[in-house]
Each structure stands twice: as structure tokens, then as C-alpha cells.
Amino acid sequence: MSSLEEIRDSRLQKRESIIQSGRSPYPRDGELFVSLETLRDSFAKYKKSKKISIAGRIVAFREHGKSFFADLYDGTGTFQIFGKLDEMKKGEFARFMETADIGDIIAVEGTAFITKKKEKSILCASWIMLSKSIRPLPEKWHGLQDVEERFRKRYLDLLMNKEVRARFSMRSDIIGSLRRLLDKDGFMEVETPLLHPVAGGALARPFVTHHGALDHDFYLRIAPELYLKRLLVGGIPKVYEIGRNFRNEGIDMTHNPEFTMLELYEAFKNASSHMVFLETLFKSLVKQAHKGAPFVYGEEKISFTKKFERVSFAETLKRFALIPDYDAISENELGLRARQLGVDSKGEKTKGKIADEIFKKVCRPKIIQPTFIVDIPQDISPLAKAYPDKKSIADRYLLIIGGLEIANGFSELNDPIEQEKRFRAQEAALSAGDDEVTRMDEEFLEALEYGMPPAAGLGIGIDRLVMLFTDQRNIREVVLFPTLRPR
């Protein structure tokens, strides 16, 4: 078997041969080609044509003396071409045999016919090279098995694995369906800054960058929340954004440092009404994007026909972590229970954060059917309204499906004085060494002082949503180019 370098050298020689013949191995060609999907679907019509032009990448090749068969792939489908010495224009057959390789992208002109084996095909009269492949494609079954190599060379992963192409097509369908559903419901899509002068909108460690012209540090967006709420102040009652967020934190099966998020806000609503809204949205999304197929995640069949269950945060801890009374347990006792459960909570500074770690590691993976977790501690919800009769509990919920946190929503805090108090508490935590806090944002507080209507907001993690819809356990399988350590 030839080495990669030997194959590459051979193809470079073929490239040079094409150039020496007066042709380009990468021509500027404006020919209109019929897609291979259209050709296959409307073959009877094209069979009547005198000639037809198609283009695609050679993905298979079979030589039979003075003839050959090759399969072309153009992104819409595959189609067979047939070349024969006495059927092709003078010199075309020899030129193909001398310079074409699997992986090359070519254009073919010919006529449609059906072979003796009843295979729809194109009888090749002439062809041109559109893009000469210098490196050989991986073998179909053995050439691209290393998982990290698949992520680094996603272009090859897509080319060689139709399941991967289908997965990212589903991702596009999901995002498109979400947009259509929200647009139909009267929401306005907007774009807000990715560079923030203040890191806010979520409890997370930010990426820091420096703006040369302004000579000022900025933060890559960890959440668009505080800008979207400014739009509520500005009189836009229903607003959403689908975009990238960045969090300078660990990488694991459900976390990537840059990720896609849908955030939406609606004036004159609260968390309770938005849970109803989100449940309806989700059921519509399943119908549109999943097209009625049985919904299975891992070994679990998930039902979206029943009403989503609602369980309190404290009840969840009781049910899965055997913490009988969250309100009564002390911070030290909770930390001890975390250690007993194998949860590392040493770096957590509050009772709510310890409980949140227990929830994430112990409780959440066991929640399979669509469930709203409600009544979440206020100290891990600095931008949410608290209940009037219980200030330690936020009017907030999480939507868990298949053990994944799919959505997070709450009744938005719109009291500027209370918001300032919470910002100051977060700043104190930052000074004490907790870098996963939301920072003081004076401009946002100023906007709140003009009056923000009561509102509900929610965020949906698109990547985890796609994991759920495509039955994937690793977030990197649903991100085209996931973050990897540089070589």
C-alpha cells in the first residue's frame, strides 16, 4: 500500500499534467449543473434530453478495461456515471484514466440512460476537472475512526458519514422551526453585542479581550440578557435572540466554551405563564422538527403528549439525594452531604451553590421525562424575582428532559433598587474569590430606573436541544467545530 506522501506526490504530478495540457485543475466555471437529487427524482424527464450536465465529487470508481463506472456525490445525493472509450469524445477517456482520482470534483456532460442492471446512470461524453484532490479521502469504514480526529476534521467527517450530515441537517431544521414558531407568535428577532464592557447576565467566568482602539478590556458575551431587557424598557414587548455565548469554564459532555443559545423575553408575563408557553412551544417543535417519529434518548422513550410534570427544587433533592428538608439543613451539613454523594463543593461559597452542584451531579441525570424544576434558591438566581412571601426562593424554573437541562426561565426582576442590592452581593462574592458571578452593571440599573414592565424570560441551550433530538451524549457531536486543545 502506498504511503500518504507517495499518493500525494502522484496526485501533484497529475495536477501538473493538467496544467501542462493547457487546462486548469481549479477552473473558474459558471456552468449550470443539475443537482443529483433532482436528476434522480426527475429521471424520466431528463432521460428525454439530448444532453445533461452534472457535477460532484468522485466517491467510488470501478474500472473495466475500456470502460469505467464512477459514483458522484454533490451534497444532495449520489449518482452513477458510465464512461466508455468509444462513446466519449476523442481523448476524454484517456484523460480521465490518467488524471482523475477518488476525491476529485468533476463536471460531466452526457445522456441519461438505465444500465442492464436497472441502475439510473449518465453516459459520459465529456468531462472537466473542477477541483483536483491532492490528499486521498479516508477509507469509508476504517479511515476516520478516532473521535477527536473527526472533530478536528469535521469536513471529512461530514463527507464520509451520512449520519453526521443528517445530524447537522436536523440542527438547522430545529433552529429554523424555533424561528418560525416565535415569529408566528409575534416575537421580534434582534442582535445584541458580543463584546460587553461588563460581564453580566449569568453566573459564569468570562473570556477577557482588549479593544485596541478604545484601549479598554471587554468581555465575550456570557449571556445577552441585560441587553434584551433594555429592549423591554424601550417598548419592544416580545423579543428574542439566537446567538453565540462564551463561558471560560470546563469542557465536558454537556459543556463547550462557546455555545448557541436562544433567549427570549415577553412583557406582562411571569414564570408560570411562560412554563405553559414553553410546553406548547416544545410540543410544536417536536411535531415540526422530529416529524412524528418515536422520540428516544438513549434507552429511554420520551413522551411529549402528557402534561410536563412540575417538581420543586427541594423535593428533587429529597427524592434523588435523600436531603429531607432543604430549608432546615445548614450550609455545613449540606456540604457534608455533598461529600457523601461524591460531589466536589469545596469551591462553592453559598448554600444554594452547594445544592446546585448536588442537583447537577446527582438529581438531574435521573430526570428523564419532561419536567419543570420550580422554586429554585434565590442566591443562585440574582436576576429573578423572589416570591413575595418567601424571599429565599426565586420564581424560576428549569426544564429537564433526558437528564439534560434544556431551558431556564424566570419572572424577571424589574425593581432597580433590589437589583442593585443583588449586584452588590455578587460583587462581594467576587471579592471573596468567587469568579462565577454576575457583575455590577450601572448602565443596566439606569435603564431599569426608567421602568421595565413585568416580564418573563427564558433561555434554551440549542446544542443540548440538538443532543436530545439526535440522541447524542456528547455536545461535541452536535457542534460543527467544537473547542479542542491546539496541537
Give dist(CA 130, CA 206) in Å, integer. 45
Round to the nearest angstrom and report the end-to-end CA distance of the chain. Answer: 28
Distances (CA, A) of 70 to 56, 61, 80, 121, 468: 11, 4, 6, 10, 38
Quick check: 450 and 392 in contact, CB under 8 A?
A: no
* Percent of the chain that is helix, strand, coil (3-state, to 5): 35, 25, 40
Distance CA 74, CA 37 (A): 9
List C-alpha distances in Å: 242 to 174, 324, 384, 426: 12, 39, 21, 27
DSSP secondary structure string for all residues of 122-180: EEEEEEEEEE---SPPPPTTTSS--HHHHHHTHHHHHHH-HHHHHHHHHHHHHHHHHHH
Neighbours of 13 (CB within 10 A): 10
**Dist. CA 413–CA 394, nearest whole Å:** 10
- Annotated binding residue 405: yes
CA atoms of 47 and 87, how far apart (whole Å): 17
Pairing of strands 371-377, 309-312: parallel
What does the angle CA 269 – CA 389 – CA 352 come to, to the nearest 5 degrees?
85
C-beta separation of 69 from 90 below 8 A: no
- Amino acid occupying residue 467: M
Phi-psi region of 238 (alpha: psi -120 to 50; beta: other; left: phi over 0): beta
Map grid coordinates 454537556 to a residue: 254
DSSP per residue over 170-204, as a string?
Answer: HHHHHHHHHHHHHHHTTPEE----SEESS--SSSS
Q: Decide: helix, strand or coil at residue 116.
A: coil
Binding site residue list for Mg(2+): 405
Binding site residue list: 405
